[in-house]
A and B are shown apart, each in its own frame.
Chain A
Amino acid sequence: MPEKIEVTLTINGETRRGLAEPRLLLADFLRHELGLMGAHIGCEHGVCGACTILIDGRTARSCLHFAVALDGAVIDTVEGLAGPDELHPIQEAFHQNHALQCGYCTSGFLLTTLEFLRRNPDPDEDEIRRALTNNLCRCTGYTNIVKAVAEAAAALRAAD
């Protein structure tokens, strides 16, 4: 059994520590060591985007990283988006537009959208569609997700 190594991450603004054997995927570390179940595993080979999180502000697939390689990184997950009483504007737009059905892909879409709208606060439909191609949804047919992202963009612009 390989030695377990201590990993320290800043997750949603909090310092979190855990033990990981070198081959432990970041997704499994977050989910099973730290109990953050919001990122889901849909393929474990980097295609579906269900495991998307932010590493140092950039979207990343937590199934393609080893936890030990990220010691010291700043990570954002879906659990950090909403306050106890209200949803983040992106979450609210997904709710208002029925942009989720089973919800398995949703945290990945939310984080992809978060990063995308920081880069491009006023996207058109084609830009939204292009930005979302890295995340698969098998339930919604994307129509309502695209609408939700446009609405979230407008809400975030209005709030600025």
Chain B
Amino acid sequence: MSDTPNYVGQAILRREDDYLLRGQGRFIDDLPTPGDTLHLGFVLSPHAHARILGVDGSQALALDGVTAVLVGDDLAKLVQAPFAEIEFPGYHVHGRDVIARQIVRFVGETVAVVVARSPYLAQDAIELVEVEYDPLPACADLESATSPDAPQVHDDIPNNTIFKGDFTTPDFEAAFEGAEHVIRERFRSGRVGGVPLEPRGCLALPEHGDGLVFYSSTQVPHLLRTALARFMEHPESRIRVIVPEVGGGFGTKAQIYPEEFIAAALALKYRRPVKWIQDRREELLTDIHARDHIYDVEIAFNGEGIVQALRADITTNAGAYSSLPFGCTLETTGGARMIVGPYRITNYTYNARAVATHTAPSGAYRGVAQPSCFMAIEGLMDRIARQLSLDPAAVRLANMVPTAELPWTNVVGVRYDTGSFMESLQRAMEMIDYEGFRKRQPADRLVDGKYRGIGIASFTEVSGTGAPGWRARGLVRMPGFDSGIVTVEPTGKITAYVSHAHAGQGHYTTFAQVVADALGADFEDVTIVEGDTATTPYGTNTFASRSAVTGGGALIRAATKVREKMRRIAAHVLETASEDIVIEAGRAHVAGVPEHGLSFLEIAETAYSMNNHTLPDGDGYGLEETDFYDPPLVTMANATHIVEVAVDADDGRVRIENYAVVHDCGRLINPMIVDGQIHGGAAQGIGEALMEEFVYDGEGQLQNASLLDYLLPTSEDVPMFKVEHIESPSIDTVGGFKGVGEGGLIGAVPAVLNAVGDALAGLDININVKPLRPTLLGNLIREARRDRL
């Protein structure tokens, strides 16, 4: 590390802003498209479950400018059915043809691709492709999917149960039976999606014969390249994946999708550029969905509200297929593993299953599992408080692992190295004047005609998962590490290459802060390169709150090596020992004698043999080092969100009136950017708690595949977020960083639900589902009031 960190920790304004504000960000659909480009259009199944009897593309082909109409069997010759490589007891691995061959399994699954000279023509052609289906009974509903007479999604997956896992601690039964109180509850979380403002797309450009430059709006360029190579059986070294500017990812774009294989395969087949830009309807129908969970939980506790034992039975809707590369266990095992959160819960048992249905495949959306499992455990904390007439904050504080007892290994073996569970709760209570709110709050919660309540969510946040963390969840081919190359150029300027790809997180700024400090360089001299497999070293890429931990760690390690070499060179030239050399502010000098030193330029010229100095014995030319960083199992951040809401007694609308967050992601790189991550995540969490939901009917038709019907939060739905930080640097990771990408969303869901539950507690309304739409709450309030008359 640098002798004095200069840039890490500062709210440096973003380098990305200038070009984005000028409208010069180059997103996938903004890239120059060669004149002979072929445009793809996909024919989507209108049925949730059907046998494909025939596809007739003749009318489409008759259109001038339509080159081809291809079906599943055509593509199967070019691409094997990709499958998520999961090895986990109880997991049924299955592939998905990139275009359905005999059977379609969800509305929106591709049955044919049209190839045309323009995107408008491709749309025309889609309309003209005739597909004959034999509709089959479908099952979209999670509750009924495992019943014996439910339609089967895959013949070889009995009871539609793709995955089943369980766990128990030895003393669970005794602890559970011995407790004074037990509360049982079913929590149901609706199905949502990341819905980035930019839909997906790709542009495949053949080059040098069988080479392929593949632009994709992906979060995972290296994983995508490996998957393209593997399932197309094309040499990986002939494929270059480049990520242009990406308009939001949120995990949605961390999946590898059939359209990417199809575009790549057709570009190689036709030896022509191939382009596809998704439209919003396709995005909502076919991008991964998330949540759609049932948590049946039982919590046993004593008269002081101290938890004695917890039982969780978790069912998650996997959708029709396991998506690539995570499969469908992330939400299943993620919730089962994280539900104990910041609490000292040592007797625990779970059963968890992922169930196939005739709906869009599920995958990794910001928060993965944690909004649901914390909705459950945080909902239980409030219920314990209500049952024992204790304050919900006091119940939490009584159950939390105190900072003095960290590091702590939780009941499923996840280590919390450092943290601030109680401190973050206490500070958030001060920020929002929790005690004052409670004093003012009347028993019936009615203030000025609105039910007013306050809700807490204290939680742990999985970030920076390393190889052991992926193995523990059966993802045998998910690497875990990320890499960096740090180069001091002959002119003394620095280029750092990292295996990540941003979608709005500000990596060009934050990684430059990290490298500048690790190298002792001037921030302005550091340029970050990422999102290009031809220039960046391999890595696991950007999802699951990884980049600060893994990219930051890798860059620090690579920069430290460069720095050591620069010290050796400087010592050699200045005829002193390298231990006596200090590097700071873009210069190396003898400790205590700042004027006796060398600039980066002078050191670089020596390294690149551009002057008369020699290199120290044992050092070769150049100033470039590569290193990787694989974090431990996971890196655990934590936070507390506290929310005040007003629920309208007449129309059931929820207004967020006050919102405080205290977050702890260890060492902060750029507090401004961290705050932005929390704001954005919390807004998504408010959406998930109050309005967002994909609704399938009994036939598996998605009822709301437009942004008119799938509601995203607007500026009037969210409050001004107040955010503070506690810094408990990780002692397990290089750099002390923990992730922050998902915490905003994870905290908002349970905090908002608990606030509404608190607001309606005077009416004895039980809040155990989301989203809490006005119609639902309005009805509950009317019924409760009628019962009271």
Residues of A in contact with B (beta carbons under 8 Å apart): 1, 21, 23-24, 31, 36-45, 47-48, 50, 77-79, 81-82, 87, 91, 94-96, 98, 100-107, 110, 125, 128-130, 132-133, 135-146
Asked if residues B199 and A42 are in contact (CB atoms below 8 Å), the reply is yes
Quick check: is B744 within 8 A (CB to CB) of the other chain? yes
Q: Are B197 and A104 interface neighbours, CB within 8 A?
A: yes
Cβ B715 vs Cβ A94 within 8 A: no
CB of A85, distance to nearest CB on chain B (Å): 11
The reply to whether B676 and A140 form a contact with Cβ atoms under 8 Å apart is yes
Contact across chains for B707 and A94 when beta carbons are under 8 A apart: no
> For residue A133, which residues in chain B have a CB less than 8 angstroms away from its CB?
714-716
7 additional contacts (CB under 8 A) given A91-B21, A95-B14, A141-B678: A42-B707, A43-B706, A78-B21, A81-B21, A103-B504, A137-B197, A141-B681
List of B residues within 8 angstroms of A95 by Cβ: 13-14, 17-18, 21
Complex alpha-carbon distance, A21 and B123, angstroms: 15
| Residue of A39, A77, A91, A94 with most chain B CB atoms under a 10 A cut-off | A91
CB <8 Å contact, A40 and B280: no
A102 to B125, CA, bound (A): 33
- Chain B residues engaging chain A, CB cutoff 8 angstroms: 13-14, 16-18, 20-27, 29-30, 64-65, 120, 194-199, 245-248, 250, 277, 279-280, 503-506, 672-673, 675-676, 678-684, 706-708, 712, 714-716, 718-721, 744
Q: Which residue of B lies closest to A142 (CB)?
A: B715
Distance from A66 Cβ to chain B, minimum over Cβ atoms (Å): 12
A105 smallest CB distance to B (angstroms): 5
- Return chain A residues, CB-CB under 8 Å to B250: 138
Q: Which residue of chain B has the shortest Cβ distance to A84 in the bound complex?
A: B22
Partner of B706, one of A47, A78, A102: A47
Residues of B contacting A105 in the complex (Cβ-Cβ under 8 angstroms): 197, 247
B679 touches A140 (CB 8 A): yes
Q: Which residues of B contact A44 (CB under 8 A)?
A: 279-280
Could you tell me if B248 and A107 are in contact, using CB atoms closer than 8 angstroms?
Answer: no
Q: Which of B248, B505, B506 has the most CB of A within 10 A?
A: B248
Across the interface, B17 reaches (CB within 8 A) one of A40, A81, A100, namely A100
Query: Residue among A81, A110, A138, A142 with the most chain B CB within 10 A?
Result: A138
A77 cross-chain contacts in B, Cβ below 8 A: 23
Residues in B whose Cβ lies below 8 Å from that of A143: 679, 718-721
Q: Is the pair A31, B30 in contact by a Cβ cutoff of 8 Å?
A: yes
Measured CB to CB, the closest approach of chain B to A23, in angstroms, equals 7
| Complex Cα gap A143–B716 (Å) | 11
The answer to whether A37 and B30 touch across the interface, beta carbons within 8 angstroms, is: yes
CA distance A45 to B308 in the complex (A): 53
Question: Within the assembled complex, what's the spacing in Å between the Cα atoms of A68 and B195?
Answer: 31
- Tell me whether A139 and B504 are in contact (CB under 8 A): yes
Distance of A109 Cα from B504 Cα, bound (Å): 16
- A82 CB to closest chain B CB (Å) equals 5
**Considering the chains assembled together, what is the distance between the CA atoms of A134 and B700 in angstroms?**
31
Whether A136 pairs with B712 at a CB distance below 8 angstroms is yes
- Taking a contact as CB atoms under 8 Å apart, the answer to whether B18 and A141 are in contact is no
From A45, which residue of chain B is reached at the shortest CB distance? Answer: B706
A103 touching B21 in the complex, CB below 8 Å, given contacts A139-B248, A142-B715, A146-B715: yes
In the complex, which residues of chain A have a beta carbon less than 8 angstroms from the beta carbon of B721?
Answer: 141, 143
Chain B residues in 8 Å Cβ range of A87: 18, 21-22
Task: Give the chain B neighbours of A98 by CB distance below 8 A.
Answer: 13-14, 672-673, 675-676
Smallest CB gap from B29: residue in A:
A41
B198 contact from A42, A78, A142, A145, Cβ within 8 A: A42
Residue among A43, A44, A77, A95 with max Cβ neighbours from chain B (10 Å): A43
**Does A140 lie within 8 Å of B680, measured CB to CB?**
yes
State the CA gap A43–B682 with chains docked (Å): 23
With a CB–CB cut-off of 8 A, which chain A residues contact B18?
A: 87, 95
CA of A93 to CA of B744 in the docked complex: distance in angstroms?
24
Residue of B nearest to A109 (CB): B715
A82 closest partner in B (C-beta): B22
Question: In the complex, what residues of B have CB within 8 A of residue A82's CB?
Answer: 21-22
Q: Which residues on B sit within 8 Å (CB–CB) of A37?
A: 23-24, 26-27, 30
Judge whether A45 and B280 touch: CB under 8 Å. Answer: yes
* A-side contacts of B64, CB under 8 Å: 1
B247: which A residues are within 8 A, CB to CB? Answer: 40, 42, 102-105
Tell me the complex Cα distance, A42–B196, Å: 9
Q: Report the Cα distance A96→B716, complex, angstroms.
A: 22
- B721 shortest CB reach to chain A, Å: 5
Structural contact, A38 and B24, CB atoms closer than 8 A: yes
Residue of B nearest to A91 (CB): B21
A97's nearest neighbour on chain B, judged by CB, is B672
CA distance A9 to B196 in the complex (A): 32
B466 nearest CB across to chain A (Å): 26
Chain A residues with CB below 8 A from B26, complex form: 37
Q: Which 9 pairs show the lowest CB-CB distances between chains A and B? A: A38-B23, A102-B504, A104-B247, A103-B20, A141-B679, A141-B683, A101-B504, A78-B23, A47-B707
CA gap between A95 and B672 in the complex, in Å:
11
B675 contacts across to A, CB distance below 8 A: 98
Output the nearest chain B residue to A50 by Cβ-Cβ distance.
B197
> A135 CA to B675 CA in the complex, in Å?
21
Closest to B675 in A: A98
Q: List 18 A-B contacts (CB under 8 A).
A: A36-B23, A37-B26, A39-B23, A41-B277, A47-B708, A82-B22, A87-B18, A94-B17, A95-B13, A98-B14, A101-B248, A102-B197, A128-B715, A136-B707, A136-B712, A141-B676, A141-B678, A143-B719
A-side contacts of B719, CB under 8 Å = 143
- Whether A138 and B197, one on each chain, are in contact in the complex, defined by CB atoms closer than 8 angstroms, is yes
Contacts of B279 in A (CB 8 A): 44
Given contacts A37-B30, A94-B21, contact A43 B280 (CB under 8 A): yes
Docked Cα-Cα span, A128 to B720, in Å, equals 12
A98 to B712, CA, bound (A): 21
Beyond A42-B280, A50-B197, A138-B197, whether A107 also contacts B23 by CB under 8 A is: yes
Considering the chains assembled together, what is the distance between the CA atoms of A35 and B11 in angstroms?
Answer: 35
Nearest CB in chain B: distance from A94 CB, A: 6
A95 to B16: give the CA distance in the assembly, Å. Answer: 9
Q: Bound state CA distance, A80 and B129, in angstroms?
A: 42
Q: A82-B22, A91-B21 are in contact. Are A138 and B714 (CB under 8 A)?
A: no
CA–CA, A158 to B27, complex, Å?
A: 35
Cβ contacts under 8 Å, B684 to chain A: 138, 141
Cα separation A138 to B715 with both chains bound (whole Å): 11
Listed residue (B64, B65, B673, B706) with the most chain A CB atoms within 10 angstroms of its CB: B706
Interfacial chain B residues near A38, Cβ < 8 Å: 22-24
Minimum C-beta distance from A57 to chain B (A): 19
Give, as a whole number of angstroms, the nearest-CB distance from A112 to chain B: 10
Min CB distance, A103 to chain B, in Å? 3
Residues of A within 8 A of B706 (CB): 43, 45, 47
B676 touches A101 (CB 8 A): yes
Q: Are A138 and B712 in contact (CB under 8 A)?
A: yes
**CB-based nearest A residue for B709:** A47
Most buried by B among A41, A43, A82, A103: A103
Chain B residue nearest in CB terms to A145: B715
Determine how close the nearest CB of chain B comes to the CB of A22; give it in whole angstroms.
11
Most chain B CB within a 10 A radius of its CB, from A43, A47, A48, A101: A101
Q: How far is the CA of A104 from the CA of B23 in the complex (A)?
A: 9
Bound complex: CA A139 to CA B23 (Å): 17
Contacts of B25 in A (CB 8 A): 103-104
A129: chain B residues at CB < 8 Å are 715-716
Q: A residues within 8 A CB of B195?
A: 138
Pairwise interchain contact A139-B680, C-beta atoms closer than 8 A: yes
Question: A134: shortest Cβ distance to chain B, in Å?
Answer: 8
